[in-house]
Amino acid sequence: MDAQVEFELLRRETASWWYIARRKLLRDAVAQAVKDKREARVLDFGCAAELELAEASQVRTINAHPLLPVLAFHQIRGHRSLLCTGPEELGLASNSMDAILAGDMLQSVADDLCALRELRRVLKDGATLCLTVPAYPMLWGEKDEARGHRRRYTATELRRKLNNAGFEVARVSYVVAWGFIPAVIERIGKNIFSKSIGHYQNSGHRSRWADSGMVLLLDIERLLIRYINLPFGTRVICWARKPALVAERVTVPAWERQWASHPLPQGMS
């Protein structure tokens, strides 16, 4: 694809309602994760949160992505500390990050369980992972194929995979609940009247006021999920943590300590 065309597609994507809403969700998550820390290191895998543009001075961010054109685009937008790396083998030290954000990246990975284990390796003990993924395999369509997705998730499946990767799941909620019924109707219609990937890539774009209305609805949902988990939606958001390693304290009975300090003779010379 021509670089200019690819940059234009990225520009449109970063101006879309979901990108704006997701950025707010991830910023809220990292603010909660590092609020009691004087300094923190955050991995923004996918460059979705734009923390540097938010002027979070106490947060040192590493912006990582497996595609060089995407990193070049974000460099133009003012990002620093850019890292080109794949999710299944991150070029970062173990136990080095206070929080990791992964905005809509896991669904494009060949081995998502391996990627989750690698994210866990990079996190410090007790640190937080926040990620978003597309919801419901039944909503799979040409948009997923055009964007290189490999799967969609249910909240239960995502929770199970995070547990298998060694995370403790704090919360899992659906988002974009208002868009779930329209998405199901759209999916049924497209199953009847097929639509090609090329047609999707060249399709028209929503007006600015429509995007603003969608962002407003997502702002309402963002406030709601601070208190409740939404039961359905077109995306899943999850907060998980890497369990802290706690040294087990063993209580030794007094009689055992006595025998240990004065062992019995092993024989007579």
Candidate from 93-97, 158-162, 260-264 with smallest mean pLDDT? 260-264
Contact 184, 139 (CB under 8 A): yes
Contact 101, 42 (CB under 8 A): yes
Question: What pLDDT digit, counting tens, does each position of 88-131 carry?
Answer: 888 888 999 999 999 999 999 999 999 999 999 999 999 999 99
The answer, yes or no, to whether residue 201 has pLDDT greater than 50, is: no
Comparing C-alpha atoms, which of 33, 21, 30 is closest to residue 52?
Answer: 30
Q: What is the pLDDT of residue 2?
A: 65
In the structure, how many helices (H) and strands (E) does the chain have? Answer: 10, 7
Q: In whole angstroms, what is the distance from residue 130 CA to residue 43 CA?
A: 11
The answer, yes or no, to whether residue 202 has pLDDT greater than 50, is: no
Number of residues that make up the chain: 269
Q: What is the pLDDT of residue 261?
A: 53
Q: Where are the domains of the chain?
A: 3-242
Average pLDDT, the chain: 83
**CATH code for residues 3-242:** 3.40.50.150
Name residue 49's beta-bridge partners: none
Contact 128, 79 (CB under 8 A): no
Q: Collapsing DSSP states into helix, strand and coil, what is residue 7?
A: helix
| The residue to which tokens 């609020």 are assigned | 35
Sequence-distant (≥ 6) Cβ neighbours of residue 232 within 8 angstroms: 135, 174, 177, 180
Q: pTM higher than 0.85, yes or no?
A: no
Q: What is the pLDDT of residue 203?
A: 46
